[in-house]
Structure 1
């Protein structure tokens, strides 16, 4: 990847997180979808998470904003664990309610049948 120089921070454009690269030598860019085009030194490329490279016109560069990447996905792991724990709590509460409902129906049936020692 000596033909391009990767800029330090990731950038975001609209809803897409991309890396910007500055082309250092004239070369041909080949995308995973089979498209290709020629770039010149000084051109800026945006690279998305799928490896697709797109030429960024100079007048579009102000629409790209630097963002900080998360150091790790620990936040998302904790969120997933929290949702899993909440799901377990909800399941337990639903089971308690279901068991209470069954017990109430059984006691009502016994009471109506005269089998209850009240």
Structure 2
């Protein structure tokens, strides 16, 4: 029994590696399914000095998977809860002046995955996302 510290149970190297690899893949696939089941909310804020038309597109592999437009008065905001399925996207935001800006969104393990878009004066578009 002294040769087998685990109560007489011996696990060979190959079996140990195989068991560890299968367990890791199973765990990882469980994590990925949790992330893909989550949704992304959009929080759009107009912090500019005038009303703005704001268009938002989400692209995945150069394919548009979401598109919407918002007309927001000065200091107005809108929250679109669970607007997009979970995943990694490139967001393209365009305002009525023709200014466009891109943001690479990476899904996180947060309960509330949110992309925050702020339109400011001088045609500045800022992005942020929830971090946990």
Using structure 1 for the length normalisation, give the TM-score: 0.28
Please identify which structure carries the higher helix content. Answer: 1
Please identify which structure carries the higher strand content. Answer: 2
User: RCO (CA 8 Å, sep 6+): is it higher in 1 or 2?
Assistant: 2
Structure with the greater alpha carbon radius of gyration: 1
